[in-house]
Structure 1
Amino acid sequence: MDFFPVFLKLSDRKVIVIGGGEVACRKIDLLYQAGADITLVSPKIHPYLESLVAGGKIAWQQQPYQKGVIVGFHQVWATTNDPTLNHQIFKDAEALGIWTNVVDDPQHCHFITPAMVDRSPIQVAISSGGASPVLVRMIREKLETQLPQNLSLLAKYSGQQRQRIKEYFNTVDERRKFWERFFRLPAVETATTPAQLEAAFSALLEQPNPVGGNVYVIETGADPELLSLKALRLMQQAEYVLYPQDSPPAFIELCRRDAERDTYKPEALVNQVNQWVQQDYRVCVLLPKPMRDQMAISLTEQFQGIFVPCVG
């Protein structure tokens, strides 16, 4: 492990960025979002940075780098296009015991910034230690498609209910099981407002030990690349997959790797789904377009499931 993964709290911490180009723009954006107290040092700066200075969001020392400017700061970022100067900044900061990042130069970094998937307060960070930035970007893109867009809403709401849930459940295990059931509710997975989450939360509190899983009905077409991101995410969550005997393998392979799988016949599908739902499984049903009108409404209504049509 070349770098220890950690999330830093930068609220009101004094951070100095040396260099005023496009690289500095990207880093300062992230530092500002994290609440850092930012000082920029550079003779000239990018017009975007000028707008931040004019808006009072960052301070600017309009001068070349000098060793004394980093004294008193908690973190140093070297973003100039001069490697020799960046290395000198690193050496000076290291002598003072200040954590330093020389952008795109892992050998001269006390810490590095990962690729991020931001669903604040949920954050996912991916890093290769500087070995393969392109691969890291591809992994981040995959995660973006898997993580629901309402994850931020779910995290904020659940955080606000931590004390409230303790009034209903005495043990950590009871609370954990409740939250697992809550996050798996179709109404929660599709929620877009706190009011929708509150309705689902209150209803579940009234029946804290329900038996039953979830049903995801995914309509398939001729081309698996036309499946929506939502369909792919739900297919990855399912613990049991049911598919017709003539279903193309490409659709089945997009489902969760360790999920149990079985074929179905239309006349027996409801019974099969019910069997696994009663065992608290998340069941994914791959439904070809010709069967849509026949089965989709019946399954989603009977099991309060989610139906995702094919986009193509």
Structure 2
Amino acid sequence: MTHYRAPLNDRIRDPSMGTTNPDRTENFTYFPAFIHVTGKKVLVLGGGEVATGKLRILSKSQADITVVAPEICDDIAVMVDEGRIVWESTPFVDTMVNGAAMVFDATDDPYLTARVKAATKRRNILLNVVDKTAQCDFIVPAILDRSPVMITISTGACAPALARIIRQRLETVLPATMSQLARVARDARQKVADHLHDNVSRQRFWTHFFQRGLQTHSARSICPEDVDLALRQFVPDGSSATVPGGQTLMADVHVDNAFDLPHGIARAIETADIVFHEDHIADDILTLARRDATVIPIGCITLDEHPERKRESIAQQSKIFARQGFNIVTLTQPITH
């Protein structure tokens, strides 16, 4: 089978592109990344409530955590008793940071902070001084925990309260069952790869599987048997060469930003393989498309010499691509005078 391929969506990467939001061109102050800390040393200085907050997050990782403090509060003492962290009660010395992947300073002691900063800088170790952004090599974002799914929100330390509010709103949108859904998918990746040998089939399968699994009206958790059922339904007669038909949608867009876009249209754009769009569709909306999606401008249908013929041509192209298993979205916008 021959599949259509075209240049990928570069709208979210091209700084020269016009945009409805000029602030999007602002450079990152902090680079967003996740650090692998399994089996690595992480040092936390301080034994009070501030240190406790960091330790609650760190203890969910598989890092080797050491707390340096002359005294520790009850919550930290429980973590020590449970064997989740190690407590070092002796005064801080520079060599304590040796071999650490990162260091957290939660002491609120400017003199000690200066010593710690000098020690970590000499050893090229990342340092976070809690609530002292100017002293930090890295910051910790607001976290929405749906392990193994981890969603982080950061304002680059300029508005932490806003990041917390965004996280709280997302808590009400993303179901708790997302955790189980991700675990089931993780364990089934090889099984799905054994059944579906091409990327198009696998991508289509997982898209459909996750969409069904994230439906808010689902009353039960996803289990491994759901993957088996989905594979049987997705691949008739056990043929791994079968690619199911894709979906097509032609939508009139009446807004100029992604926030006000109807949820159904937004979800269609996010899962589309190919997006046809009129020239005056806002870039803010087009950035919803996946990075690997093909985004194709089609001018302005209404102003075309033969608008109905052009609509029919796009509809025919969409059908061809859909038969190859692609999801197609065509976005038009009525002209107002």
Tell me which interval the TM-score lies in, with the shorter structure as reference length: 0.5 to 0.7
* Alignment-derived partner of residue 83 in structure 2: 56
The total of aligned residue pairs comes to: 227
Matched-pair contact (CA < 8 Å) for 1:18–1:77: yes
Taking the TM superposition and a 5 Å limit, the aligned residue runs for 1:103-142 are: 103-142=130-169
1:188 is displaced (CA, Å) by 6.5
Is the aligned partner of 1:85 residue 2:131? no
Give deviations 1:212-259, integer Å, cap 9, x for gaps: 79xxxxxxxxxxxxxxxxxxxxx9742399xxxxxxxxxxxxxxx99x
Percent identical among aligned pairs is 31
Is the aligned partner of 1:201 residue 2:227? no
1:203 is displaced (CA, Å) by 4.1
Is the aligned partner of 1:37 residue 2:37? no
CA-atom RMSD, angstroms? 3.0
Instruction: State TM-score, norm by structure 1.
Output: 0.64
- Structure 1 CA distance, aligned partners of 2:225 and 2:195? 20
Taking the TM superposition and a 5 Å limit, the aligned residue runs for 1:242-253 are: none
Corresponding letter in the other structure for 2:135? H
- Structure 1 CA distance, aligned partners of 2:266 and 2:107? 53
- Structure 2 CA distance, aligned partners of 1:167 and 1:137? 41
* Alignment-derived partner of residue 127 in structure 2: 100
Q: Which runs of 5+ in 1 are unaligned?
A: 214-234, 242-256, 259-278, 282-312
* Alignment-derived partner of residue 192 in structure 1: 221
Matched-pair contact (CA < 8 Å) for 2:133–2:139: yes
1:72 is displaced (CA, Å) by 2.9
- Structure 2 CA distance, aligned partners of 1:129 and 1:200? 44
Q: Which runs of 5+ in 2 are unaligned?
A: 1-27, 237-242, 249-260, 268-284, 287-325, 329-337
Matched-pair contact (CA < 8 Å) for 1:76–1:101: yes
- Structure 2 CA distance, aligned partners of 1:166 and 1:153? 20
Give deviations 1:2-30, integer Å, cap 9, x for gaps: 11000011111011111100111111121
Matched-pair contact (CA < 8 Å) for 1:182–1:188: no
Give deviations 1:134-176, integer Å, cap 9, x for gaps: 1111111122222222111121112222222223322111211
Instruction: State TM-score, norm by structure 2.
Output: 0.60
Structure 2 counterpart of 1:238, from 261, 264, 288? 264
RCO higher in structure (CA 8 A, sep ≥6)? 2
- Structure 2 CA distance, aligned partners of 1:155 and 1:188? 14
- Structure 1 CA distance, aligned partners of 2:38 and 2:266? 44
- Structure 1 CA distance, aligned partners of 2:214 and 2:91? 57
The structure in which a higher percent of residues are helix is 1
Q: Secondary structure at the match of 1:101?
A: strand
Corresponding letter in the other structure for 1:209? P
When residues 153 and 83 of structure 1 are mapped into structure 2, their CA distance, relative to the original with a 3 A threshold, is: same
1:114 is displaced (CA, Å) by 0.5
* Alignment-derived partner of residue 180 in structure 2: 153
Q: Secondary structure at the match of 1:184?
A: helix
